[in-house]
Structure 1
Amino acid sequence: MANKKTHGNNNRGRRDAVATPTPYEEARDELFQHVMQCGVIGAEPDDQREWFDATVAYLTDRYPELTPAQMQELRTLGERFAQPPKRQTAGSAA
């Protein structure tokens, strides 16, 4: 049998490098998973604040390589993520 060349598929056996998430990305994803699983969405503001205090403290211990500024940014992202979607008004939908 003759070797057949396949055009455009010269990458057989080659593995592309998989990007490893940074500690920040891991912490962000973990925070979002906790928000979705823990019922914090729709909770009272005081309960959310208390939950985020405890969760960010946990993440700070779990990811000591993150700076305080990064942890604050994660908290802000998490608090926004936990808010219910905003309704569009007739004027803003146009």
Structure 2
Amino acid sequence: MGSKHQTTLLDRARDELFSHVIRCDVLEAHMDDRAEWLADTMDFMAHRYPQLGELELAQLEVMGKRFIKPAIPHGADTTATNRKKWQKATPVVDPAVSAEGSAEAETEAETATAAETATEDEVAEAAEPQLATAAAS
């Protein structure tokens, strides 16, 4: 039995990225290290798959970010049956945030994080001009 759709270049790049995450034990690393690893790996993926456009690379990066920071953490210790336990776990505290002015620093950090992460809507909005140009050609 074959697949119902043909595998695209983006599908292959996604599968390779996820494979690298698992092989390199990225999910065991601290979040800062994960982000740095993903940035380096995205540079590698852009060179490995030069046929991918900017939009596809952005989509690949969003998929990678979601995979390395899932809504429900990976592992046997984090299941729906023990959700309250792992949700109560102490959140990672940014050492740059001091006791004084921590609310301001946290707000700035949240704003910076939100600015770095493209949402599906933002990716779709970025694609619209490219799709219109491609359709006009």
Residue by residue over 1:38-90, the C-alpha shift from the partner in whole angstroms, topping out at 9 and shown as x without a partner, is 11113212111110111111110011111112111111111111225256457
- Asked if structure 2 preserves the Cα contact closer than 8 Å seen for 1:24 and 1:70, the reply is yes
Q: Does 1:66 align with 2:52?
A: yes
Aligned partners of 1:57, 1:41: CA distance in 2, in Å?
19
Aligned partners of 2:3, 2:13: CA distance in 1, in Å?
22
Q: 1:34 maps to what in 2?
A: 20
Q: 1:75 maps to what in 2?
A: 61
Aligned partners of 1:20, 1:37: CA distance in 2, in Å?
26
Q: Which aligned runs of 4 or more in structure 1 are off by greater than 4 angstroms?
A: 16-20, 86-90
Count of aligned positions:
75
Task: Tell me which structure has the larger Cα radius of gyration.
Answer: 1
- Asked if structure 2 preserves the Cα contact closer than 8 Å seen for 1:60 and 1:71, the reply is yes
Aligned partners of 1:60, 1:48: CA distance in 2, in Å?
18
The TM-score with structure 2 as length reference comes to: 0.47
Identity of aligned residues (%): 35
Higher helix share: 2
Aligned partners of 2:25, 2:3: CA distance in 1, in Å?
36
Q: 2:11 maps to what in 1?
A: 25
Structure 1 pair 20/43, CA: closer, same or farther in 2 (3 Å)? same
Amino acid at match of 1:70: E
Matching residue within 40, 59, 62 for 1:54? 40
What value does the CA root-mean-square deviation take over the aligned residues? Answer: 2.4
SS for the counterpart of 1:41 is helix
Gaps of 5+ in 1: 1-15
Amino acid at match of 2:13: A
Q: 1:6 maps to what in 2?
A: none
- Asked if structure 2 preserves the Cα contact closer than 8 Å seen for 1:28 and 1:74, the reply is yes
